[in-house]
Structure formats: structure tokens, C-alpha cells
Amino acid sequence: MCNCCAEKKDIYLPAPAAIQEVKMLNGTELYLRLSMDGSPLEYVPGQFVEVSIAGIGEAPISISSSPTLGDSFELVVRKIGNVTNAIHNLKKGDKVGIRGPMGKGVYPIEQTKGKNLVFICGGIGLVPQRSFINYVLDNREDYGIVTILLGTRNPSERLFHSELEAWSRRKDVKFLETVDKGDEKWKGNVGVVTTLIPKIENELKDAAVLICGPPVMYKFVLMSLKEQEVTSDRIYLNLERKMKCGVGKCGHCQINKYYVCIDGPVFCQSDLKDVPEAI
């Protein structure tokens, strides 16, 4: 066997990773910082990993950190099934299996250099977007105006409080946040995330717009962007919610001619014009 074949990575074989830090971000989302036992995980914003627990199974999880973080990487896991329930029971020092990184359709890091960026995040959709946001902020001179819109169902479900506060204080970032329903302590905007879009009319001109959130959000966000005359070739959609096996074998994420886990999870809207069922 030649060296190139011997060194080829087995996409089905998990590699061990150790949990360096673990904490709850809210009532349902668990934050994990991990490091691989061997070489550091090399990834780009938009990719994901398959996290496995021996004897239970595995689940696809978006990478939330920027590659600029260093030798570790960050995940945020919502408790919704057997695997994620098991992940929520882990503690610092425990090991998990990692397959990946996976996904060829990633955030347009090179294509958007020098351009203005608008991030539209709905709830846990902030998690994968955060990878590119922090990459951009760590390479701030490479990009134009940065605008971040964040919508959450209620204040108790907000994520990364200290980062959101830091973004709101930055002079080189425009950060607008809203909640669907406030509480007695909430003093900010109330309403769905699309209510923020008319407030950034100038920022949307010639900007690349990156969207991630719950399925119901996409239709209304795209309608609002169309009203602002944002063309489909400037809109990028993260469809990570549809994935399962990560390698295009199970068919769970197939949308017509695309496999989200292989061809995505990030797609330019103009590439989806013939597959309306994708969004």
C-alpha cells in the first residue's frame, strides 16, 4: 500500500477528543470546549463534526468557534435525544469521539473579503454563525462593515451573553438584538428578527447576507430581503438542521440533487433556485 493510501483518513472512524471546559449557556444549550488527543482539528467556519458516545450513538454538531481559537474548538449542544442527553451528562476531562470536520459548503471567507457582511441569526442559529463572526472580528481589516441581527424567543434563551455585550460595545460592529417576547427585565427590542431588517437598509446595500435559524424564519427573512432588493447571489443560507450521518449515505439530508452534509451545509441562495423545497 502506498503512503498516500495509508495516510488517508477513515471518514467512518472517530478520533478521541477531551473536554476542556463545559457549562450550560441557558436551560437547554450546553457549551463544550474540546481538544483532539492527536493533531488539532483543522476546520473552516461552516463545517461540523459528528460527536459520538460509545454504546449510544453519534450526532452532527456545528462547530461554533473560529479557527483562530487555537488548538481547541467549541460546540453547543441542545438536549433533544439520546446522544445529546448523554453529552449533557459529560464533565471536564471526559472523552468523546469526533468524526470530521465535515461539509464542503462553508461560509464564503475568501469571496467576501473587502465586502460588507450582514449576519441574521435566529435563536440557536447564532451557534454556527458565531464561527464566521469571530473569524471576521479576528481578521477585522479584511472585511467591510459588519452588521449582526439576532432574534431570540425570550431573554432566558439568549446565548453567549458576554460576547453579545462586547459586540454591542464595538465601534466597528453594528449589533441589533430582539426577542419575540420580553420579560420585566428586558429593555431592548421586542418582535421577530425581521422587524430589525428595515433598520439596516443602508448596510444591506452590496452586502453579503448570512442567515441561520429555525426553518420557519427563512421564508420571512428572505421575503424581507427581497423587499430590500437584496439579490439571491448575495444571500447565504445555513441548512445544517437537516443533517444526520455526515457522509451522504443515510439520505436524511438529501434535498433533490444536494446532500446537505456534503454539498453544504452553507449554500448560496442562487444555487438553490431549482430546489425550492430546500428552504
Fold of 117-278: Rossmann fold (3.40.50)
Q: Give the C-alpha separation, 67 to 74, whole Å.
A: 10
Q: Could you tell me how many residues make up the chain?
A: 279
- Given this model, what pLDDT does residue 8 score? 58
- Given this model, what pLDDT does residue 210 score? 98
CA distances from 21 to 91, 99, 196 (A): 8, 20, 34
233 backbone dihedrals φ, ψ, rounded to 5° = -75, -5
Q: Give the C-alpha separation, 122 to 192, whole Å.
A: 9
Q: Give the C-alpha separation, 242 to 264, whole Å.
A: 10
11 pLDDT higher than 80: no
206 pLDDT higher than 70: yes
Least confident range from 57-61, 216-220, 255-259: namely 255-259
Beta strand ranges found along the chain (DSSP E): 15-24, 29-36, 48-53, 57-62, 72-78, 95-102, 117-122, 146-152, 173-179, 189-190, 208-212, 235-238, 254-255, 258-259, 266-268
- Given this model, what pLDDT does residue 259 score? 83
Q: What is the mean pLDDT of the chain?
A: 93
Q: Give the C-alpha separation, 275 to 95, whole Å.
A: 40
| pLDDT tens column, 110-160 | 999 999 999 999 999 999 999 999 999 999 999 999 999 999 999 999 999
Q: How does residue 9 score in pLDDT terms, banded at 50, 70 and 90?
A: low
CATH top-level class of 3-102:
mainly beta
Nearest to 75 by CA among 105, 34, 103, 45: 34
Contact by Cβ (8 Å): 210, 128: no
Sequence ranges of the domains in the chain: 3-102, 117-278
| pLDDT tens column, 57-68 | 999 999 999 999
- Given this model, what pLDDT does residue 5 score? 41
Q: Give the C-alpha separation, 239 to 271, whole Å.
A: 13
